[in-house]
Structure 1
Amino acid sequence: MAVSVAVAVVAPAVLFATTLVVVSLTAAVVVALAWMTSTMCWRKATRRPVSGLLVLALGIMTVKTAFMLATGNAFIYFLQPVVVDLVVATVFLGSLWSAVPVVARLAPDFYPVDASLAARPGVRSLFRGLTLFWGIVILAKGSLTLGLLMSLSTVDFVLIKGSAILTLTLLAIVTTVAWSVSVARREGLLPVAR
């Protein structure tokens, strides 16, 4: 899970911020997209599995970059993630009314989940709870991004947003792992801690 997040989220964010400060916004969007594209190509060329997170991040990055290069509008470039967060949070929260919430669909990217494991009541409850949790986290991320975008310069926005969103994301990941381990222990999938 940490590798998926590092490749799909952390690395392009660091490359983007560094290139923005050293070169320009246009160079930063191109470098970040190049990273995502080369990562996807490398994984396919080496026949490694491509995580859903990487595919989602690449799709979002491609649309944002194309729009930025076409318009040159930095505000709209940075506003797009807020809109994407709203849409993604809506998908997460809306999937709670379906038979298979979003986290149940993404879980196999992070842990081998077969049909019998996914059918366990504790695991099903975990997937629903994590779907609600991540829907709320994504809404909070979008709100924080919008607040920072409206109040900071472009460079300050990128630097502060990057660390703030990374902190929020890491806290959400730690919570997700702790919650999952707790459920795995209750379900007898992991030994109980002493």
Structure 2
Amino acid sequence: MESVAVESAAEPEISGSGATAAQEGEGHHVFELPRIRALLVHALPRFFEGVIAPVLVFYAALTLLGLNGALVAAVAWVYGGIAYRFLRGHPVSGMLMLAAVGVTVRAGLSAATGSAVVYFLQPTLGTLLVSMSFLASVPLGRPLAMKLAKDMAPIPEAFLKHGRVHRFFLRISLLWSMVLFANVLVSVWMLFNQSISTYLWLRTSIVAALGAAGVVISVWGFKRLLRHIDWKPAGTA
């Protein structure tokens, strides 16, 4: 992890999971930036579990068992993940429970209509709502990207109040609004113009590439921002 001390007004020490709580001299708050490799090690297993594996399960079941079999397999995959965590004594997050409810509703509607398009269209509409939320937060001056950053890392409040930092998160919120909207456009076009198998694999690849580009730009921009603000690596004079 890369520890960073940010120049700010006098403020209480910041503490949090995985963060350095000590201060490096008067007015310097120290927090940690995860290295890219650490981010990848943390994210890739979850990306496989949450994105790649469900596609594999759905496609295999669709090929072997048809649409209804694929819907059952998709629901079983999510609830199987919950059962596995429960039996292993691991916490089951609220997000996972919401995902289980969502996939159950999607599968039920798709089975009732006999259309795989219905199954895939619903999360795309959800992505559109998230994209609009990022976009709406910009003119309101309350960038959604800043709130998410605060949830993921113990960033000092005084640092977030810096004018340049606030403008950065406004731009990042706009960036993610465009990334997610591009995701929606690609998904809807492919859903209505390509086969389900093409949709599953090509759309997944394109969306993953868009997301990876958004993450790289966001992390690069944040590190560039730190170089232009009065900060120094923790432990230096």
Q: Kindly indicate whether residue 205 of structure 2 is the aligned counterpart of residue 163 of structure 1.
A: yes
Q: Percent identity?
A: 26
- Checking the alignment, whether the CA contact within 8 Å between 1:9 and 1:57 is kept in structure 2 is no
Q: TM-score, normalised by structure 2?
A: 0.63
CA distance in 1, matches of 2:202, 2:208: 10
Q: 3-state SS of the aligned residue for 1:113?
A: coil
- Checking the alignment, whether the CA contact within 8 Å between 2:127 and 2:184 is kept in structure 1 is yes
Counting only pairs closer than 5 Å after superposition, residues 11-22 of structure 1 correspond to structure 2 as 11-21=53-63
- Checking the alignment, whether the CA contact within 8 Å between 1:51 and 1:109 is kept in structure 2 is no
Q: Which has the larger radius of gyration?
A: 2
Which residue does 2:90 correspond to in 1?
46
Deviations 1:128-161 (A, max 9, x none): 1111000011111111111111211111211211
The structure where helix makes up a greater share of residues is 1
Q: What is the one-letter code of the residue matched to 2:170?
A: R
Moved more, 89-98 or 13-22: 13-22
Q: Unpaired runs of 5+ in structure 2?
A: 1-38
User: Once the 2 structures are TM-superposed, how far is the Cα of residue 79 of structure 1 from its aligned partner?
Assistant: 2.0
Deviations 1:70-101 (A, max 9, x none): 43321122222332222111111011133422
Residue 98 of structure 1 is aligned with which of 140, 164, 172?
140
Deviations 1:6-51 (A, max 9, x none): 25444434444454445544444444455455656739x5359x59
The structure where strand makes up a greater share of residues is 2
Which residue does 2:188 correspond to in 1?
146
Aligned length: 189
Q: TM-score, normalised by structure 1?
A: 0.75
Moved more, 76-85 or 136-145: 76-85
Q: What is the one-letter code of the residue matched to 1:143?
A: L
CA distance in 1, matches of 2:56, 2:154: 30
CA distance in 2, matches of 1:140, 1:167: 11
CA distance in 2, matches of 1:12, 1:159: 11
CA distance in 2, matches of 1:184, 1:108: 16
Q: What is the one-letter code of the residue matched to 1:46?
A: H
Moved more, 148-157 or 93-102: 93-102
Q: Unpaired runs of 5+ in structure 1?
A: none
User: CA RMSD for the aligned pairs?
Assistant: 3.3
- Checking the alignment, whether the CA contact within 8 Å between 1:92 and 1:134 is kept in structure 2 is yes
Which residue does 2:123 correspond to in 1?
81
Q: 3-state SS of the aligned residue for 1:98?
A: coil
